[in-house]
Homo-oligomer: A and B are copies of this chain.
Amino acid sequence: MIKETEDFYPSRTGNEETILPRIDPIVYGNVQPGIEYSLTLPQMENYQENGFIVLPDYMPEWVNPLQKEIESLRSLMAGREELITEPESNELRTVFKPFAFSHIIDQFSRHPKILTIARQLLGSDVYITQSRINIKPAFTGKSFPWHSDFETWHVEDGMPRMRAVTAWIMLNENNEYNGPLYVIPGSHKEYVSCAGVTGSRNYDQSLKKQEAGVPKPETMQRLLKNREIKGVYGNPGTVVFHECNLMHGSPDNISAMPRTLLMFVFNSCENKLVAPFCDQPPRPDYLRNTDSSAIE
């Protein structure tokens, strides 16, 4: 593949780590009066300012059916490369591309309560560039260090610009004890160009324990100078939309309750992937969906 666009967000190029300005908009669409499920102006301003929005108890009726479906996928997909396990305990950690194996998950991803907002924020038709079920098992689920998803998707998958949003539903209660998402509100307005280079098949390692694309402590101190960490908590059925460049991490799950969530990354159809911005071949299809036709 040929690099089709200029690299506006270089990272892991062997240079020193630095913070670059974001050059892309955050919200691409507009308020849509009369359109069911669309975000209000205050909600859009909240997303613009903080980089995420939480919709408490938004789709609770989906929790039980999705939990049951995940149980089925465990056996249905056993042995496939889309399944990722915990580094130490071999427990199920992630299922990639679940919509390709499940009718109900596919239906959920197209639900107007999800799709309307994804299209509104990105101001265009959208497609799913990545999807996964994340399970952080009770007691043994491990932490994930601070990172921007966009940094990885840009470098390793060739996502050219910041015009993607992750939508995810809590399938358990998410609280401070079961390894919740920690975010840094406002961090999506800056871009950390990381040190290092991307190794061959980095994803084999990074899906279990991320190292490349993790900012150094000094950089994190700078990002946190006028900002604070915030935990994202809620009941089962709560839905969160977070911007692709929002800095986030996640602590160990030290509780007796697993933390399971289903997520979809919506990318704008005007931001389709090009060749990766590193010297490695593209990641497999289950990490970097090659079908970029607009979702109906």
**Interface, chain A (partner B; CB < 8 A):** 138-140, 143, 145-146, 176-177, 182, 217, 220-221, 224, 229, 231, 249, 251-252, 254-256
Nearest 7 A-B pairs (CB), nearest first?
A224-B256, A139-B217, A251-B251, A176-B176, A177-B229, A143-B252, A251-B252
Whole-angstrom distance between the alpha carbons of A146 and B252 in the complex?
A: 12
B254, A249: Cβ atoms under 8 Å? yes
Question: How near does chain B come to A102, taking the closest CB pair, in angstroms?
Answer: 28
A252, B252: Cβ atoms under 8 Å? yes
Question: How near does chain B come to A94, taking the closest CB pair, in angstroms?
Answer: 20
The one of B217, B221, B254 that contacts A146, using a Cβ cutoff of 8 Å:
B254
Question: How near does chain B come to A78, taking the closest CB pair, in angstroms?
Answer: 22
Asked, given contacts A140-B217, A217-B138, whether A251 binds B249 with beta carbons under 8 Å apart, the answer is no
Residues of B within 8 A of A229 (CB): 177, 254-256
Q: What 13 additional pairs, Cβ within 8 angstroms, besides A143-B252, A176-B176, A251-B254?
A: A138-B221, A139-B146, A143-B143, A143-B251, A145-B254, A146-B254, A176-B231, A177-B182, A177-B229, A217-B256, A220-B256, A221-B256, A251-B252
How many copies of the polypeptide does the oligomer hold? 2
Whole-angstrom distance between the alpha carbons of A220 and B138 in the complex?
A: 10
Whole-angstrom distance between the alpha carbons of A145 and B231 in the complex?
A: 21
Question: How near does chain B come to A154, taking the closest CB pair, in angstroms?
Answer: 23
What are 9 A-B pairs with beta-carbon distances under 8 A? A138-B221, A139-B146, A139-B220, A176-B176, A177-B182, A224-B255, A224-B256, A229-B256, A251-B251
A143, B220: Cβ atoms under 8 Å? no
Residues of B within 8 A of A146 (CB): 139, 254
Chain B: CB-nearest residue to A230: B177
Whole-angstrom distance between the alpha carbons of A221 and B182 in the complex?
A: 25
Whole-angstrom distance between the alpha carbons of A279 and B229 in the complex?
A: 46
Whole-angstrom distance between the alpha carbons of A221 and B140 in the complex?
A: 13
Residues of B within 8 A of A252 (CB): 143, 251-252
Residues of B within 8 A of A224 (CB): 255-256
Chain B: CB-nearest residue to A178: B229
Chain B: CB-nearest residue to A222: B256
